[in-house]
């Protein structure tokens, strides 16, 4: 991941607080209960739709934020995942630039997450490739997203 002088700032709504076992989706519905606590605050940019037709995902590093928190934060990069064959970018956000150790930890987590998601999808009989594709720029992930309009009422596929 390359450092950016002035990274983009985005508004993120927290769907899964750091330490939570409940994985909620963009509509607020519980997607699954994890056997492990989420190591990051996980949410979405409420104004943007990602390539998989759901709100653009965002991870916010730092202390635990309550469910529903709205925070403006800088996006220092993104991790690109493939989930059932669909590209699913995750903005990586923080109030401060990420250290090399934080970058490694985030990438290690998403490699593990992709393997867990592949197993969950197999159990749910949802076919398609699952993998962590690695880092990309926040600008690249934002450019692939489209603005949310009033016609969007949630993703067309179950997650």
The pLDDT profile of the chain, 159 residues, written as one tens digit per residue, is 555 468 999 999 999 999 999 888 777 788 778 888 999 999 999 999 999 889 999 999 999 999 999 999 999 999 999 988 888 999 999 999 999 999 999 999 999 989 988 888 888 898 888 899 999 999 999 999 999 998 888 777 665
Tell whether 4 is covered by a domain.
no
CA–CA gap between residue 34 and residue 100 (Å, rounded): 27
Q: What does the chain come to in residues?
A: 159
Count of structural domains within the chain? 1
Q: What is the CATH number of the domain that holds 47?
A: 3.90.80.10
CA–CA gap between residue 34 and residue 2 (Å, rounded): 32
- Residue 4 is predicted with a pLDDT of 46
- Whether 60 and 14 have beta carbons less than 8 Å apart is answered as yes
pTM: 0.90
Tell whether 153 is covered by a domain.
no
Tell whether 158 is covered by a domain.
no
- Residue 127 is predicted with a pLDDT of 86
- Residue 159 is predicted with a pLDDT of 56
Tell whether 2 is covered by a domain.
no
Tell whether 17 is covered by a domain.
yes
Tell whether 127 is covered by a domain.
yes
Over the chain, what HEC string results? CCCCCCCCEEEEEEEECCCCCEEECCCCCEEEECCCCCCCEEEEEEEEECCCCCEEEEEECCCCCCCCCEEEEEEEEEEEEEECCEEEEEEEEECCCCCHHHHHHHHHHHHHHHHHHHHHHHHCCCCCCCEEEEEECHHHHHHHCEECCCCCCCCCCCC
**Domain extent for 57:** 9-145
Task: Please count the other Cβ atoms lying within 10 Å of the Cβ belonging to residue 153.
Answer: 7
């Amino acid at each position: 991941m390359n450092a950016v002088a002035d990274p983009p700032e985005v508004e993120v709504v927290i769907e899964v607080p750091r330490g939570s076992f409940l994985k909620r989706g963009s509509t607020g519905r519980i997607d699954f209960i994890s056997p492990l606590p989420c190591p990051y605050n996980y949410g979405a940019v409420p104004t943007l739709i990602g390539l998989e037709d759901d709100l653009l995902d965002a991870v916010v590093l730092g202390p635990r934020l309550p469910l529903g928190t709205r925070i403006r934060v800088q996006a220092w990069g993104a991790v690109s995942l493939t989930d059932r064959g669909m590209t699913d970018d995750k903005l990586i956000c923080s109030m401060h630039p990420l250290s090399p150790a934080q970058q490694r930890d985030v990438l290690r987590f998403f490699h593990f997450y992709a393997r867990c998601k592949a197993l969950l999808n197999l159990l749910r009989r949802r076919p398609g490739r699952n993998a962590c594709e690695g880092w990309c720029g926040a600008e690249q992930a934002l450019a692939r997203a489209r603005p949310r309009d009033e016609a969007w009422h949630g993703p067309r596929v179950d997650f």
